[in-house]
Chain A
């Protein structure tokens, strides 16, 4: 399967701990996106990359969140000093950047529970 993969699938952590999630996009996709989804809501944009450059970051994203894509391939999303409000499904998606109407391809997500 050459789709978008995310690791881990589930993460349970205590409030105040740091967590890091990984996303491996489809190999030929140069654009990578992170979204957060909570129950009853649609995916909420967090940030996106073109190759290794982070081009946009949501204003809703606090300074505790940071994302990297150091070599333009996989990406990591780190949440520092987690809070219960961070509990959500974190989705990664990638798309081919050479076609303006190319759709996003999503991974299965990482479900974060902060206790």
Chain B
């Protein structure tokens, strides 16, 4: 069975601060990993994804994530957050064409 853990439930940062959101997964095979974002009042949108190759992947809006296989982690980072990054962030895992399993999410609040 696949599962995802996000340990930070609510993060509050000031603008320009650096961000790192933790994500750990459990899956026995080759994984595909995703970060989704949900801005207030909007639907879930893809931020970035990892399939294979370079473990450091870059997404939209300056976000990046690093896949560390030995730690079963896929942490999301951004060097300098903006107020517009206020949203809820979800890590997700799938083994391929099957179901996609989501974490419980991290609410990010950026204070101007």
Residues of A that sit less than 8 Å from B by CB: 31, 33, 35, 40-45, 48, 50, 55-56, 91, 93, 97, 100-101, 103-109
Chain B positions 87 through 105: 1 when the CB is less than 8 Å from some CB of chain A, otherwise 0: 0001010001111111111
> Do B100 and A45 touch (CB < 8 A)?
yes
Alpha-carbon distance A106/B12, docked complex (angstroms): 26
* Residue in A41, A56, A106 whose CB lies within 8 Å of B99: A56
Report how far A105 CA is from B9 CA in the complex, Å.
24
Q: What is the CB-to-nearest-CB distance from A16 to chain B, in angstroms, rounded to a whole number?
A: 30
**26 residue pairs A–B, Cβ–Cβ below 8 Å:** A33-B99, A40-B9, A40-B104, A40-B105, A42-B6, A42-B102, A42-B103, A42-B105, A43-B44, A43-B102, A44-B102, A45-B101, A48-B99, A55-B98, A91-B43, A100-B32, A101-B32, A101-B51, A103-B34, A103-B49, A104-B36, A104-B44, A104-B92, A106-B43, A106-B44, A106-B45
Q: Which residue of A lies closest to B90 (CB)?
A: A42
Query: For the complex, would chain B's binding face be called helix, strand, loop or mixed by DSSP majority?
Result: loop
Interface set of B (CB-CB < 8 Å, partner A) = 4, 6, 9, 32, 34, 36, 42-46, 49, 51, 90, 92, 96-105
Residue of chain B at shortest CB distance from A43: B102
For residue A103, which residues in chain B have a CB less than 8 angstroms away from its CB?
Answer: 34, 46, 49
User: Looking across the interface, which residue of chain B has its beta carbon closest to that of A58?
Assistant: B99
3 closest A-B pairs by beta carbon, nearest first, are: A101-B51, A42-B102, A106-B44
Which among B51, B100, B103, B105 is the interface contact of A104 at CB below 8 angstroms? B100
CA separation between A31 and B94, bound complex, in Å? 14
A107 & B99 in contact (Cβ 8 Å cutoff): no
